[in-house]
Chains A and B, each alone.
Chain A
Amino acid sequence: DVKVTQSSRYLVKRTGEKVFLECVQDMDHENMFWYRQDPGLGLRLIYFSYDVKMKEKGDIPEGYSVSREKKERFSLILESASTNQTSMYLCASSLYVGTTGELFFGEGSRLTVL
Chain B
Amino acid sequence: QKEVEQNSGPLSVPEGAIASLNCTYSDRGSQSFFWYRQYSGKSPELIMFIYSNGDKEDGRFTAQLNKASQYVSLLIRDSQPSDSATYLCAAHTGTASKLTFGTGTRLQVTL
Residues of A participating in the B interface, judged by any CB pair closer than 8 Å: 31, 33, 35, 40-45, 48, 50, 56, 58-59, 90, 94, 96-103, 105-108
Contact = CB atoms under 8 A, between A and B. Distances in A.
B98 A97 contact: yes
Nearest to B6: A42
Contact of A48 (B31, B44, B98): B98
B43 interface: yes
B39 to A, nearest CB: 12
A96 B97 contact: yes
Interface in B12-63: 31-32, 34, 36, 42-46, 49, 51
Interface in B53-111: 88, 92, 96-104
B73 to A, nearest CB: 18
Identify the interface centre among B45, B46, B49, B98: most chain A CB within 10 Å of its CB. B98
Contact of B103 (A42, A59, A108): A42
B97 A97 contact: yes
Contact of B97 (A35, A94, A106): A94
Contacts of B8: 40
Nearest to A105: B43
Given A99-B32, A103-B44, 6 more contacts: A40-B8, A40-B103, A59-B100, A97-B97, A100-B49, A107-B43
A50 B42 CA distance: 25
A106 B45 CA distance: 10
B32 A108 contact: no
Contact of B32 (A43, A50, A58, A98): A98
Given A42-B104, A43-B44, A105-B45, A99 B31 contact: yes
